[in-house]
Chain A
Amino acid sequence: KNQVEQSPQSLIILEGKNCTLQCNYTVSPFSNLRWYKQDTGRGPVSLTIMTFSENTKSNGRYTATLDADTKQSSLHITASQLSDSASYICVVESGTYKYIFGTGTRLKVLA
Chain B
Amino acid sequence: NAGVTQTPKFRVLKTGQSMTLLCAQDMNHEYMYWYRQDPGMGLRLIHYSVGEGTTAKGEVPDGYNVSRLKKQNFLLGLESAAPSQTSVYFCASSYGTGAGNQPQHFGDGTRLSIL
**Which residues of A are in contact with B by a Cβ distance under 8 Å?**
4, 31-32, 34, 41-46, 49, 51, 89, 93, 96-104
Contact = CB atoms under 8 A, between A and B. Distances in A.
A43 B45 contact: no
25 contacts: A4-B42, A34-B103, A43-B4, A43-B90, A43-B92, A43-B107, A43-B109, A44-B90, A44-B104, A45-B106, A46-B103, A46-B104, A46-B105, A49-B101, A93-B101, A96-B97, A97-B33, A97-B48, A99-B45, A100-B42, A101-B42, A101-B44, A103-B40, A103-B41, A103-B42
For A32, A44, A51, which residue has the most chain B Cβ atoms within 10 angstroms? A44
Given A49-B102, A101-B42, 9 more contacts: A43-B92, A43-B108, A49-B101, A93-B101, A97-B48, A97-B56, A99-B45, A103-B42, A104-B42
For A34, A46, A93, which residue has the most chain B Cβ atoms within 10 angstroms? A46
Nearest to B6: A43
Interface in B34-83: 40-45, 48, 50, 56
Contacts of B104: 44, 46, 99
Contact of A42 (B56, B92, B108): B108
B109 to A, nearest CB: 6
Contacts of A44: 43, 90, 104, 106
A103 B33 CA distance: 19
Contacts of B45: 98-99
A10 to B, nearest CB: 12
A4 B41 CA distance: 11
A34 B42 CA distance: 14
Contacts of A46: 103-105
A34 B41 CA distance: 17
A29 to B, nearest CB: 14
A41 B4 CA distance: 15
Contact of B106 (A32, A43, A51, A93): A43
B29 to A, nearest CB: 13
A93 B50 CA distance: 16
Contact of A51 (B40, B42, B101): B101
